[in-house]
Amino acid sequence: MDWITDVQGIAEWMRSWGAVAIAGSILLNILISITGVLPSIFLSGANAVVFGLEGGFIVSLAGEVIGAALAFILYRWGSTKIKKLQKWKESKWINTINDSSRMRQMTAIVLLRVNPMIPSGVVNFGAALTRISLLNFMISTLIGKTPSMVFETVVGHDLVFLSENKSRLIISLLLGSLVFFLFWSKRKKEEDKV
């Protein structure tokens, strides 16, 4: 229950910003994306509380995509400056991705974004080491991030307004658990083969 009060606290803090709340929320999401380790679910939930389900979803998704794009640019720039990273850029898996078609590169980003087991920062960093264009990365991120933003927005909103949305919350959590289980069991099978 502590995280529910965290979402409410973040929502109240954002409401105090007035007219700049949307820009402030997007900036917070950019910081989360650049650091690559902080979970965005609290902010997505707070966005839903402040801006409503649809508005919160749009603000959260915009922040995620812009944040991922800026992280991608920073990581790509850093990979040209740090010698150890330049060696990674010549690795077999990077060359395989670079030699793939545009559609395969984008599909890979979408699938990595949909997978709840892979942190966004890892996807941003890995993509920055490849030659995928910024535009293709952003389109793939938009497509791949949409399901998780819907989930985070609805769950965050419904936890705060639990008495009004118990059924939808239960269905959302069951569906989210199913997706997580499917990715986890696939990963487990792959590990068992090795």
CA 13 to chain centre: 22
Number of residues assigned to the chain: 194
Comparing C-alpha atoms, which of 143, 156, 148, 149 is closest to residue 183?
Answer: 148
Most confident of 53-57, 74-78, 131-135: 131-135
Helix (H, G, I), strand (E, B) or coil at 59: helix
- In the chain, the DSSP E strands lie at none
Joined tokens for residue 140: 């793939």
Confidence band of 3 (pLDDT split at 50, 70, 90): very low
pTM of the predicted model over 0.85: no
In the predicted model, what is the mean pLDDT of the chain? 81
> Which burial class, exposed, middle or buried, applies to 166 when counting CB atoms under 10 A from its CB (0-12, 13-18, 19+)?
exposed
